[in-house]
A and B are shown apart, each in its own frame.
Chain A
Amino acid sequence: MSKIHMVNLILLFMVPSMPKGNIIAEVKTMPRIKKIKNFPCSKCHKNKKRNFQISLPLNSPHNEIVFNHMPSINSCYQCHSKNNIKGLILRDGRKLSLSNSNQLCWQCHGEIKNDWRTGLHGKETGSWLTTKYRYSCIECHEAHSPRPHSMKAEPSIQRPKFGITKQEH
């Protein structure tokens, strides 16, 4: 065996190479709480026992909220916990933190749950090789009016000109 081969062999063992079998990525849910604008709620809501306004539209800074979801829901407390405003509540009475809000959606949207878990539905960032971050439902669907909103398209390229116009001639 020549010297070059020896060096190559040594290098092979020293350098951490790609795994030989199938490469499998790990998936994590994107952390959500840091992105909520006015979190924690105790910033403004210092008195826990205060009666909160129930009917829409809410006062500022929550005046952006427009409810356009399921028509049969008529109370905020079907999803938000009455006693603990920074928590959510499931239909069976279990409490939920804001970062686990996916489970609240899955009470009704079971099919999407399966699609989301296997990665067919929803946006992903990160790495296909090591860890992927999957966005939770309310990153894209605003919780109170979840229908995907329309947006302005980025400008297109210019339509090519063919020939000369009269003014240019």
Chain B
Amino acid sequence: MKNIDNDNSSIPNELKRAQRVEKKTKQVLDTKIERRGFLKMAAAAAAATLPAKEAPAFFDFFKKHYKEMTPAEKKVAIAKLEKKLEKKLGLDINVTNPDPIDNAHFVYGLDLSKCNGSRKCVTACVKENNQGRDPAIQYIKVLEMDIGTMNLEKGDQYYNGIVPKKGKFYMPIQCHQCDNPPCVKSCPVEATWKEKDGIVVIDSEWCIGCRYCMAACPYEARRFNYSEPKIPKKEVNTTQGYLSNRVKPKGVVEKCHFCLHRTREGKLPACQEACPTGARKFGNLNDPKSDVAIIFKKKRIFVLKEELNTSPRFFYYFG
């Protein structure tokens, strides 16, 4: 009996849908048909016929690119993402999207003579940026190398135990936020781009997971989510940036973004706050009194793989 009842109730709905489709098609026939306009109308007609449950996925599919969104549309997209993440994680989540600061020129300095390879920055980064724990995704890779050499291929990133070890030095590598980024050029769908303040970001809604950027990056700074990231519920960071530390879906690329949800609000990146030796220096190069500006003047600095002309914003020095 129940089944028959259900069937009866669904008939008027279908009728309504059919009527809606008719209306839309009449509208289409009445107006001048251009190719673009026709496609839009067809999309609208399809939307009318879709059941309500599948509608959000449909709107996700026809969403605009982040750069083309107006501020109002961004707000809508953020609200939608918030709902989606709350449903997925079962937590109260606050999605933020701070705008780039106009006068800032972010750079990052790392003192190789002070770094002791304790990987405190790595764990702080993993916690802050909601990276998957199994399989582990870490934006920062710390290489252990013999003193006197600079062969990155012979660097060991799987060391353990008491650090610093005798005769070794440690070199953390993360995204260099290049001014001439090869990863951005290689992206076929423009899901990654360079922001005004110099940070290279990824829109993980737009990423198709082709991993061209990973192949293009000379610093191996990008990571791929081979599976749905597993994060213990207690350790999820609930303030998540739209372009930065939101919990990623399966099959997208992610990387270091100088903690843009923190730095654009004036805070320092999580890795610098966690560093026990003070080897990491983040700052604004436009401010002549900032420590990075003084390091630029006084110390001998170098960047990795200078010959590739990527002009990174991450530099190393010996303090």
Chain A interface (Cβ < 8 Å from any Cβ of B):
18-25, 115, 118-130, 135, 140, 148, 150-159
**Per-position contact with A for B150-161: 1 when CB-CB < 8 Å, else 0?**
000000011111
Bound form: Cα–Cα A154–B158 in Å: 11
Bound form: Cα–Cα A35–B117 in Å: 26
Interface pair B120/A23, CB less than 8 Å apart:
no
Secondary structure of the A contact surface, majority rule: loop
Bound form: Cα–Cα A118–B103 in Å: 22
Q: How many A-B residue pairs have CB under 8 A?
A: 116
Bound form: Cα–Cα A104–B267 in Å: 31
Bound form: Cα–Cα A25–B101 in Å: 15
The yes or no answer to B309 lying at the interface (CB within 8 A) is no
The yes or no answer to B97 lying at the interface (CB within 8 A) is no
Interface pair B268/A150, CB less than 8 Å apart:
no
Instruction: Please tell me which stretch of B38-46, B81-89, B177-185, B269-277 contacts chain A, meaning at least 4 of its Cβ atoms lie within 8 angstroms of it.
Output: B269-277
Interface pair A23/B291, CB less than 8 Å apart:
no
State how many angstroms separate the Cβ of A41 from the closest Cβ of chain B.
28
**Contact residue among B103, B277, B281 (Cβ-Cβ distance under 8 Å from A119):** B281
Interface pair B118/A128, CB less than 8 Å apart:
no
Of all chain A residues, which has the CB nearest B317?
A120
Interface size on B, residues (CB 8 A): 46
**Contact residue among A130, A154, A155 (Cβ-Cβ distance under 8 Å from B266):** A130
Bound form: Cα–Cα A156–B160 in Å: 7
Bound form: Cα–Cα A77–B291 in Å: 36
State how many angstroms separate the Cβ of B307 from the closest Cβ of chain A.
28
Interface pair B290/A119, CB less than 8 Å apart:
yes
Of all chain A residues, which has the CB nearest B106?
A128
**Contact residue among A24, A126, A135 (Cβ-Cβ distance under 8 Å from B287):** A24
Interface pair B291/A19, CB less than 8 Å apart:
no
User: When A19-B103, A24-B289, A140-B278 are in contact, do A120 and B266 touch as well, CB less than 8 Å?
Assistant: no
**Per-position contact with A for B271-297: 1 when CB-CB < 8 Å, else 0?**
011011110011110111111001100
Q: List 23 A-B contacts (CB under 8 A).
A: A18-B101, A19-B103, A20-B103, A22-B103, A22-B286, A22-B287, A23-B287, A24-B287, A24-B290, A120-B294, A123-B275, A123-B278, A124-B268, A126-B267, A128-B263, A129-B266, A151-B116, A151-B276, A152-B163, A153-B118, A153-B119, A154-B118, A154-B119
State how many angstroms separate the Cβ of B2 from the closest Cβ of chain A.
51
Interface pair A128/B288, CB less than 8 Å apart:
no
Interface pair A128/B294, CB less than 8 Å apart:
no
